[in-house]
Structure 1
């Protein structure tokens, strides 16, 4: 069967005259944050589906895509639907299943990205979530970790040390699934290069307190402070506070 022989349901039009379009007052409010994210994805080469409009130019679906394309000065691709129930798109948007971070990881794996194969294996080994695993195993180029994973920007940079951290420290912490923030705080102290056995003891002694602290720098400071207790000065972790509220450990 040749797909080109199938019946045409809709035609896709294109224009760079943004004045032809208008928003429907009852539609959801435009999120500038979402528009900015879409604009970045389009600039990075992602293809976006056409927007759907009424014959009078009212946008039924795709107002965020419209705004993102307008910001970038790109032409608008659109489909005209003559008849549609008022709540059809609202209901369809509610029922759409969005891709999870794991879905994106699996996609990049299927595309042959070896870094994502390493990430998936490390997640299974460490039982960490995607973001915590990525921050432990490698780096993301120029984005927040979660968005970087989605965009294919994750790279493995410290595989051996990441597995050592899991085997020597994290697996010995008394909680079966530490929160991501606690993992980051432990990692911050671990990176100084200290006695891992003593580090584990300190974390276990403080764990209930750490669960009540919301900020990673404060968690790391408490762990480092307890670690230093009764140690000679030459073996202590040096703790210095930064102007941005973070702490530097060395």
Structure 2
């Protein structure tokens, strides 16, 4: 038999359960599975020391949260190895249930690690009930549709650089909520972004006209169609048509 080599990997153990933390977005704890593991241990099959859980340097459990829960329930030592170089993105990719990770789970994970930019992202998204992708673009680039930023967000590199301008823009968009249920849709917001940048467009005048004549904005398939539609509404009962973008 080939001579065995000794690994330099250190296996630690601890009874301080508070030092271990669960990741948002990781697989949900299955109580039945925890109970099965605990029952096997009570029947003499204690292999915890040979199957240590994996944690990162901050104590987040990367793999083995059911074994950890069983150890905690049985008041046994937790055996673990530390993998310091794993990012949250890599954790999601290696997890057998990685497909369960949603973008909001990445946000929650980075919030757990104390990243204030992700706190801002969640607060902004919740406040305006926005699609996360739109919120990321507005906060990172200051525009509705920018370069694909979701991957950057998943990698923990999101920065809420344009919070003030994004907030001002969404407050403008909110003025349309009584006239259009889908005012938070990407296509509508893209059209509104173009209008608010135009010197020919008067927001107050437009809102007043919608209110005065009880006009409603209708769903359209693209931001260009929204622009044409809103220009029609803007010129409702005008004797002379005015271009607004």
TM-score normalized by the length of structure 2: 0.48
Flag the structure with higher strand content.
Answer: 1
- Which protein has greater RCO, CA pairs closer than 8 Å, 6+ apart? 2
